């Protein structure tokens, strides 16, 4: 049995950031992941991170673009928080050693991306997610946060009240992939699920084979309400048949989409007469 104040399940970008935040509050934190952190699917995020950093841009404009890109279905408080905090988070990553690409004057490079009214996408070459994982994992190691990698969490440990809202979560159950040993993780203050998406339920996806929706499934079994499960984001550009992702940065740098008839269909078929290839992902998909 392993005991900690906070147990974070999943060690991609979200899990690593959650672990660091809990550690900053003085908690004894553990990361439990079926993969080594730097092998998480965050590493496939090539294009960049949006943040309103420059004169002429604002978090309000970023929030509007985000809400518009959600077809006005996004959660407004969550969008507001994201857009307000993203500049500080990007600067924090820079201070922690994230090797962002830079302009000739030394400023952090920013480029146009889909659905943006201002070129606010920061990036690190074509491997933004890869560098982000390594930067954040370094912080986890620096802080001495306990990492249980290649441990597969199977279920949350919850009390058995009939009403789900009355149940309490005291940890989780996992097995060591290398040995097959089953063990428990006690979380005195809480469990954070940061396990990524369920992309592998689809026949065609750019998601890694590890993205099997484990967290959503175990939360559902424990009686936790799930929200907005119908909203699954698809990356719109891939290599045919292989599913290998073609970064949105390709379109951000001027890449053009043609169909089998040689038409620039985003314009010629009227899908996005103003934005073309740089329309938001729901449109391009």
Element (H, E) at 226: none
Residues annotated as catalytic (active site), given as ranges: 281
Q: Tokens standing for 130?
A: 């890869």
Distance CA 147, CA 135 (A): 16
Mode of pairing for the β-strands spanning 29-33 and 169-176: unpaired
Distance CA 141, CA 193 (A): 20
Element (H, E) at 191: strand 182-193
Q: Tokens standing for 236?
A: 């719109």
CA-based nearest residue to 82, from 19, 20, 17, 129: 17
Distance CA 151, CA 134 (A): 20
CB atoms within 10 A of CB 238: 15
DSSP assignment string, 137-190: HHHHHHHT-EEEETEEEEEEEE---SSGGG--EEEEEEEETTT--EEEEEEEEE
151-158 β-sheet, strand order = 146-149, 29-33, 2-9, 182-193, 169-176, 151-158
């Amino acid at each position: 049995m392993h005991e900690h104040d906070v147990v974070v399940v999943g060690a991609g970008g979200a899990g690593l950031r959650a672990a660091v935040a809990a550690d900053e509050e003085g908690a004894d934190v553990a990361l439990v992941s079926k993969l080594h952190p730097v092998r998480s699917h965050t590493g496939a995020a090539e294009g960049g991170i949006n943040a309103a950093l420059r004169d002429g841009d604002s978090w309000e404009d970023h929030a509007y673009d985000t809400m518009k890109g959600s077809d006005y279905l996004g959660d407004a408080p969550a969008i507001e928080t994201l857009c307000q905090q993203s500049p500080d988070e990007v600067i924090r990553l820079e201070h922690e050693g994230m090797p962002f690409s830079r302009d000739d004057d030394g400023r952090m490079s920013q480029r146009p991306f889909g659905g943006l009214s201002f070129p606010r996408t920061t990036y690190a070459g074509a491997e933004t997610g890869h560098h982000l994982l390594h930067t954040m994992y370094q912080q986890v190691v620096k802080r001495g946060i306990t990492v249980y990698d290649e441990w597969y969490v199977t279920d949350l440990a919850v009390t058995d009240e009939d009403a789900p809202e009355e149940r309490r979560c005291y940890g989780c159950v996992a097995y060591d992939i290398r040995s097959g040993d089953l063990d428990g993780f006690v979380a005195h203050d809480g469990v954070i699920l940061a396990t990524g998406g369920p992309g592998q339920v689809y026949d065609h996806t750019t998601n890694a084979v590890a993205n099997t929706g484990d967290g959503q499934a175990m939360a559902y079994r424990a009686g936790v309400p799930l929200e907005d499960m119908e909203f699954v984001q698809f990356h719109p550009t891939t290599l045919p048949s292989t599913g290998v992702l073609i970064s949105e940065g390709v379109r951000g740098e001027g890449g053009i989409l043609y169909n089998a008839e040689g038409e620039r269909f985003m314009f010629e078929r009227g899908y996005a007469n103003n934005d073309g290839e740089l329309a938001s992902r729901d449109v391009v998909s």
